[in-house]
Chain A
Amino acid sequence: MGVESQRVEEFRLTKEPYYLPLGHEVELFEAAYNAKLPVMLKGPTGCGKTRFVEHMSWRLGRTLITVACHEDLTASDLVGKYTLQNDATVWQDGPLTTAVKSGGIAYLDEVVEARKDTTVVIHPLTDDRRVLPIEKKGEIVQAPDDFMLVISYNPGYQSVLKDLKHSTKQRFVAIEFDYPKADLEEIILQEEAGIDADTAAKLVKIAEKVRNLRTHGLEEGVSTRLLVYAGQLMAAGVEAVEACEATICKPITDDVEMQRSIVEIIATQF
């Protein structure tokens, strides 16, 4: 086993990540994988998109290389670049190239944040060609059958300046996520945070009320992830109201009046 293979193997999940299916997303993802189709996960932040990909990676037995995209991320960062090593110029594969070569799942999280030139390297991977052009080396890497490209996309964040082009969107199978229904979210909280059913129910009730404030000044509601944080803090002994303020209230808004109204919502439960 070469050094490169060893490095790729580090991205293989050995323990099953907890994931509670909300619908038929698992079957849909598997079907897309078998059909060698790229997948786009849509949904608000903290609703479980990344956890879902991790779960599917484990389920399919594929390595998972995740790239958190940001506004300075270029095509070179994804594909690879020449670097200096001991007075020599050495080619270094980027994470996308590594994933393509190893036949794993490449997950580009919040891909819309990356620079526009990244779509140039994504497009050939998402149609029937399934190739990755490495322009600087003059190479084209053919993706093996078990390679899969997954991107995530949060419609709530997009603006006129930052949105996926339709030519990009229409290359993906879209799986839409939202916050889980109350009963499922309670189960998730109990499982992830280790709290009792009553506490989980109260947290979910708070989340339900706070999510009503979307379009009233909140960009997004409380994510399941934040509820898990709240539960974890409470399980660690933090007083319930304090834990909720630190996780449910303060991270999602800087608006003092909004914060106060959320605190009052929290007070209805704890």
Chain B
Amino acid sequence: MTFGPSGGNVGMYVAREMLEAVPADQQEAYLRMVESISELKYQLGVEVARQLPRLIAQSDPDLVARYLTQVSDVAKLGWRSGVEVAKQLPDLYEAPDPELADNYVTIIGDATTGTAAGAGSAEMADELAQLEREIQEMEPKVKRAQELRTQLAAEDRRDEKRKKHAVELATALPPLLARLRPRHRETYLVQVQRVAAADPEAALEAADTLLDLLNGERVSHDGAVEWVSRGLEVLERNKEVGRGYFRLGSKFSLDVLEELREGLALKSIARVLKLYATALSGRDIAIRSSEDANTLEIYTADHIVLPADMRVFDEERQNFAAYKVATAQGAGRIEFGTYLLSLDDITETVTAIQTKYGE
């Protein structure tokens, strides 16, 4: 037999023989009654299920209702008393004195709730309930306090780390500043400061990279500001990725740099220009950047000194053409010895020119 959906867990309390003891037309009502009483306590349901068939068999619905009410009332005061009452009441209903069962229920009810001493307990219970409510209300605050404690501890750790990197930056910065070309100083300092305020560890990377970018003329001052701004956005989202950006260790960082690069870098086409000059002049010619000019005698026979970046035009093709013109001029100077003329050997020079070009 199945009890169907309405049966709920009642099958746990109702044995097959109990159900069979109930007339078929009342079995469903029986199950509902058991289920209802068991909501107070399942042990109560077990006992009521055991006793009810006996009462139902008397075909007195009032008696059944009285039984369920009395059991329920006592059980609300104390479920263990309720279970015992549920067990004893059917016998008491059959006593000659019809009031005996009611008296029994009253006695057990009073015994369960108590009298004077019980009032004190009730007060205490009320107070306890109140306190528990207050504690329950406090719980979110306690939780928040714990969160704040954790966050502050992490903040402290970060602060320690930050101080450590600030010290490292303090050590690293002076040698970098010594290598920085004076015209880049203002931009460099402002940009390093921006990164340092956000993350000293990233500032260590940025200080190093910016030095190369600016000294190497790989970005303009505006380009450096933009490159740092884009890096700070990355840093805000993720510290580690941001540090990689300032180390030029990410594709995005390189892409931004490429995007910001203005003009044409000599480095990227130096070999083409060298070959071009060598082909034109028939001499082994080296191309040097103007950045190195202070270490070179710029009119040395085998050097052509060119700017590190060509930004004369907007288009790379035109900037390359500008480089080419400068290279061709340099190659011509070298081939024809523009700066090699000396009055000491003017006689030989004139003779050589006459031989080459005639009178």
Instruction: List chain A positions with a Cβ less than 8 A from chain B.
Output: 209-210, 212-213, 216-217, 257-258, 260-262, 264-265, 268
- Chain B: CB-nearest residue to A265: B279
C-alpha spacing A212/B285, complex, angstroms? 11
- Chain A: CB-nearest residue to B285: A216
List 29 A-B residue pairs with CB atoms under 8 Å apart, sorted by A's residue number: A209-B279, A209-B280, A209-B282, A212-B278, A212-B279, A212-B281, A212-B282, A213-B275, A213-B279, A216-B275, A216-B278, A216-B284, A217-B275, A257-B271, A257-B275, A258-B275, A260-B272, A261-B272, A261-B273, A261-B275, A261-B279, A262-B275, A262-B279, A264-B272, A264-B276, A264-B324, A265-B279, A265-B280, A268-B328
By Cβ-Cβ distance, the 10 closest A-B pairs, closest first, are: A261-B275, A209-B279, A212-B282, A261-B276, A212-B279, A257-B271, A260-B272, A261-B272, A257-B272, A264-B276
Chain A residues with CB under 8 Å of B272's CB are: 257, 260-261, 264
A-B pair number, CB within 8 angstroms: 37
1/0 per position for B314-334, CB-CB distance to A under 8 A? 000000000010001000000
Chain B residues with CB under 8 Å of A216's CB are: 275, 278, 284
- Chain B: CB-nearest residue to A216: B278
Question: Beyond the given A213-B275, A261-B271, A261-B273, could you list 5 further A-B residue pairs with CB under 8 A, ordered by the A residue number?
Answer: A209-B282, A217-B275, A258-B275, A261-B276, A264-B324
Chain B residues with CB under 8 Å of A265's CB are: 276, 279-280
| Those of B256-299 within 8 Å (CB) of chain A | 271-273, 275-276, 278-282, 284
Chain A residues with CB under 8 Å of B284's CB are: 216
| Those of B110-152 within 8 Å (CB) of chain A | none
C-alpha spacing A216/B277, complex, angstroms? 12
- Chain B: CB-nearest residue to A210: B279
Chain B residues with CB under 8 Å of A213's CB are: 275, 278-279
Chain B residues with CB under 8 Å of A264's CB are: 272, 276, 324
- Chain A: CB-nearest residue to B282: A212
Chain A residues with CB under 8 Å of B278's CB are: 212-213, 216
Shortest C-beta distance, A242 to chain B (Å), equals 18
- Chain B: CB-nearest residue to A221: B279
1/0 per position for B163-203, CB-CB distance to A under 8 A? 00000000000000000000000000000000000000000
Shortest C-beta distance, A181 to chain B (Å), equals 15
C-alpha spacing A213/B275, complex, angstroms? 7
Chain A residues with CB under 8 Å of B271's CB are: 257, 261
C-alpha spacing A40/B177, complex, angstroms? 67
Shortest C-beta distance, A13 to chain B (Å), equals 38
Chain A residues with CB under 8 Å of B273's CB are: 261
Shortest C-beta distance, A270 to chain B (Å), equals 15
